[in-house]
Amino acid sequence: TTYQVGYFIGSLSEKSINRVLSRALIRLAPAELEFREIPIKDLPLYNHDFDADYPPEGRALKEAIAASQALLFVTPEYNRGIPGALKNAIDWASRPWGTNSFTHKPSAVIGTSPGKIGTAVAQQSLRSALSFCNSPQMSAPEAYIQFTPGLFGEDGEVTDPATQQFLSDFMADYKAFVERVLTVLPPR
Ligand code: FNR
């Protein structure tokens, strides 16, 4: 069986190191996972006045999540939280009330930063939002990737065998998690 994975990059930067990490994850993932990016950069800033009539960007976001069987968040940490652009996308997808796109949608979070704690604090905050939004999350393994020079090539080649193994194992566990969730929790 193949699974459609919609992935979010929390950074809008052209040179995002989290985008590089996403390329590595896609390279190392089990072949049964098919990846499609869910773009967030064109979303207006959400407020609930939009709920009466979602604009095309908001609809496209909700349709992209509906078309995905599972979600993967690859995000930087900004000032000990997730970037506003990603939080904005989550807020869009969670509404209009009663149509929360995350309900029963399995997810996992991962991120990279140049610093030693590698997005750990942002991931905690993201997990809290996803919990509230009723998205079953892979609780372990956790993955806080310190982006050191030369660790990844531009296209996500991983130069360090231990990191390569760790990321392959993460994606293998993710696939098993998604499979398990979809077996017990039918999409809603
Ligand atoms: C950062 N950075 C950062 N890093 C971190 O580990 N914890 C943090 O709280 C912050 N805060 C922060 C705020 C802002 C506004 C910026 C621009 C950056 C550094 C960050 O990890 C680094 O810029 C990464 O390159 C961002 O990831 P992308 O955009 O390259 O994927």
Tell me the two tokens of residue 18: 């989290």
Distance 181 CA to ligand 1 centre (A): 32
Residue closest by Cα to atom 12 of ligand 1: 78
- pTM score of the predicted model: 0.98
Q: How far is CA 6 from CA 34, 63, 116, 153, in A?
A: 8, 11, 28, 23
pLDDT per position as a tens digit, 141-157: 999 999 999 999 989 99
Predicted confidence at residue 95, as pLDDT, reads 98
Q: How far is CA 101 from CA 64, 95, 105, in A?
A: 10, 8, 8
Residue closest by Cα to atom 23 of ligand 1: 113
pLDDT per position as a tens digit, 103-116: 999 999 999 999 99
Give the ligand 1 atom nearest the CA of 11: 29
Reported ipTM exceeds the 0.85 cut: yes
Mean pLDDT of 157-169: 97
Q: Tell me the C-alpha distance between 109 and 137, whole Å.
A: 8
Alpha-helical segments (H) within 51-143: 56-66, 84-94, 120-132
